[in-house]
Amino acid sequence: MKIEILFEDEYIIIVNKPNNVLIHKSYYARNVDGPTLLDLLSQQFNTNFYPVHRLDRKTSGVLLLAKQKENVAIFQELFNENEIKKTYLGIVRGLVNESRLIDTPVKNPDTKVYKDAETYCEPILTKELDIAVHPYNGSRYSLVKLTPTTGRMHQLRIHLNKISHPIVGDYKYGDRFHNRMFEQEFNCHYLFLHAYSLKLKHPLTNEQLIIKANLPNDWISIFNIFDWKF
């Protein structure tokens, strides 16, 4: 699997992470087989890279990695100071008709302590289908833009569940009936959460960067079926 490179200079590389690929081995995903993103990049470039932030295994999209380990902290500080704007796209159950701020605290899986979390959710497109999904005779979906101001583990997935618009393909926080319908009707098996763009001022070159990641094939299939233009 060749990883798509979105931006590269002497300090960093920004890639389009495929969904269902771990960034690196971790305790939480100790039973997941297959090469990690770092494995794939090492094979592709014959060198090591150092991730600055994280994406869930099932989330695709923009990911920033440092070429030198000593530069990781410099870029992480931008995330810590909220100086990097991350934008995600999600396909969710139901019709989202208005923008809203979701600020439900999210529990840390290690400490079990709830921490403040904020996600701004904006509707983009909607679709109503005549395909029955339990317990209704039809089904409705929305494409939403998600802008988090914090970075808690599984934050977006938890927040969309909290407002009763779970992300399609989410088997931990989502709706199994809708997930199953997407698998059976559309042959789509992955989580519909995509890190679409990253905006930052490069701390080492002062270059203003706006990086966008192309959508995975599953997304393109659904956009065609739903007649969505984005």
Q: By CB neighbour count within 10 A (0-12 exposed, 13-18 middle, 19+ buried), where does 195 fall? A: buried
The one catalytic residue in 9, 33, 39, 56 is 56
Q: Residue 197: beta bridge partners?
A: 87, 212
Which string of b and e fits 65-86 if b means at least 16 CB within 10 Å?
A: bbbeeebbeebbebeeeeebeb
Cβ–Cβ under 8 Å, residues 142 and 126? yes
Q: Is 175 a catalytic residue?
A: no
Cβ–Cβ under 8 Å, residues 191 and 17? no
Pairing of strands 60-66, 193-201: parallel
Take residue 141 and report the two structure tokens written for it. Answer: 């979906």
Q: Which residues are catalytic?
A: 56
